[in-house]
Amino acid sequence: MIPTAALWALALTIFLNLPTTTTAEELASNPDEAWKQVVEAGKPRPYPEAWQTKRPEPEAVNEFHAENGKLTAKAADLAKAFYTKFPDHPKAAAAKEKEFELLKVAAQLGNEDVQDRLTQLETAALADPNTSDRERFELQVQALNRRAIAKQSEGREAVLAEFEKGVRELQKAFPEEEEIYQMILFIAQSSEGDKAKSLAEEVVNNAGSEDLVNMAKGMLKKFALVGSKPDIRFTATDGREIALSDYEGTVVLVDFWATWCGPCVAELPNVKKAYAALHDEGFEILGISFDQSKVKLDRFVKKEKMTWPQYFDGQGWGNKFGQDYGITSIPTMWLIDKKGVVRDINARADLEGKVKALLAEKS
């Protein structure tokens, strides 16, 4: 079972590509065949393959979500039609659960038409004396998810603010729920500066999960990097001997990435664009690859004409520098100023603008 907080994170990023669903009127008269229709209608599909290597336009994403929100609601209708038509079938209870889950997905995808119906189901579940405390917690998290997502039109900060407000309310109502700290860590990872540091410290000091504590400690380790001079030395895949200290006087992007990482590959055009525009002015890149196959890495680097040095040790997530600097997700991009000092550990946004600003500084 996926933890509730993980489901919330997925709610902002998951893309379903559902086929045209069977309508309730087309539900088979044979209950076993009808159940197959319900299952097929509710199957998630992977998001478009092209989006793994090329970031889609926001309009395309919105259209994709809107259409899938409608199709998912139709799948929920089919589940309801099943348990209405075959109330004594062994799968009737499962159909009710499927209706509930599909309505939640439809709401997450922006289908406002299902809100009242979903709220009625949640209210009934909360009023049911047989609903466990754990189920009540999950129902309230789901309602929180929708409230936060409804703020998307107001921007990312509004979404996070609404989510954090709801998490604090849940923390008071369910103080023993460990997943509260998973959600707090999610907020920390989406925040910056002192706030992110404070939230990470809260997780370290209060979470019972060793994995969560270690992830939060990794975040704190990264925060400590800002203002420091990291000692990065390696022999690049092409044989060059690299020492970050030798790059003083230039601005350096340290790019933690992998060829198998879709977001890393999607970010590559922006990295190459900045490098092409600013390399002659003193912009350099050091790649820290989390690949496990040097053959694949070399082939990719050659194909993409990535001329900057690459570190490779074949350890994947056990990558030496990843371990040393608490890298828990990629792409992670640092910017190092002309004095060799880490100035930015989240350099993806407006990379070219940030590099220009650092290049303009006096050494």
* Digit-coded pLDDT (tens) for 299-333: 999 999 999 999 999 999 999 999 888 888 899 99
> Which among 256, 257, 264 has a CA at the least distance from the CA of 53?
264
Tell me: do 27 and 99 sit in the same domain: yes
DSSP string, 258-274: -TT-HHHHHHHHHHHHH
Tell me: do 90 and 158 sit in the same domain: yes
Kindly provide the b/e burial profile for residues 220-251, where b requires at least 16 CB atoms within 10 angstroms of the residue's own CB. bebbebeeeebebebeebeeeebebeebeebb
Q: Is 335 helix (H, G, I), strand (E, B) or coil?
A: strand
Q: Which residue has better confidence, 279 or 68?
A: 279
Instruction: Please give the Cα distance from 224 to 116 (Å, whole number).
Output: 47
Residue 60 forms part of a structural domain = yes
Tell me: do 66 and 162 sit in the same domain: yes
Tell me: do 335 and 256 sit in the same domain: yes
**Dihedrals φ, ψ of 235, to 5°?**
-95, 120
Average pLDDT over every residue of 139-143: 88
Residue 34 forms part of a structural domain = yes
Residue 226 forms part of a structural domain = no
Q: Which residue has better confidence, 8 or 161?
A: 161
Q: How many domains are contained in the chain?
A: 2
Tell me: do 168 and 272 sit in the same domain: no
CATH of the domain at 353: 3.40.30.10
Tell me: do 257 and 133 sit in the same domain: no
252 DSSP 8-state letter:
E
Residue 156 forms part of a structural domain = yes
Percent of the chain with pLDDT over 90: 54
Of 177, 207, 242, the residue that ends a domain is 177
Tell me, what's the pLDDT at 54?
A: 76
Of 156, 177, 198, the residue that ends a domain is 177
Residue 219 forms part of a structural domain = no
Domain span at 20: 4-177
Residue 322 forms part of a structural domain = yes
Range in 58-67, 83-92, 117-126 with the lowest mean pLDDT: 58-67
- Condensed to tens digits (0 to 9), the pLDDT of residues 228-287 reads 999 999 999 999 999 999 999 999 999 999 999 988 998 999 999 999 999 999 999 999
Tell me: do 17 and 156 sit in the same domain: yes
Tell me: do 46 and 138 sit in the same domain: yes
Residue 161 forms part of a structural domain = yes
- Which segments of 190-304 does DSSP mark as H helices, in order? 193-206, 210-225, 262-278, 294-303
pTM of the full predicted structure? 0.59
Percent of the chain with pLDDT over 70: 93
Instruction: Please give the Cα distance from 344 to 327 (Å, whole number).
Output: 14
> Cα 339 to the chain's mean position, in Å?
33
Tell me: do 344 and 255 sit in the same domain: yes
Tell me: do 28 and 171 sit in the same domain: yes
Position 22 confidence tier, pLDDT thresholds 50, 70, 90: low
Residue 6 has pLDDT above 60, yes or no: no
Tell me: do 43 and 146 sit in the same domain: yes
Tell me, what's the pLDDT at 149?
A: 81
Residue 247 forms part of a structural domain = yes
Tell me: do 140 and 271 sit in the same domain: no
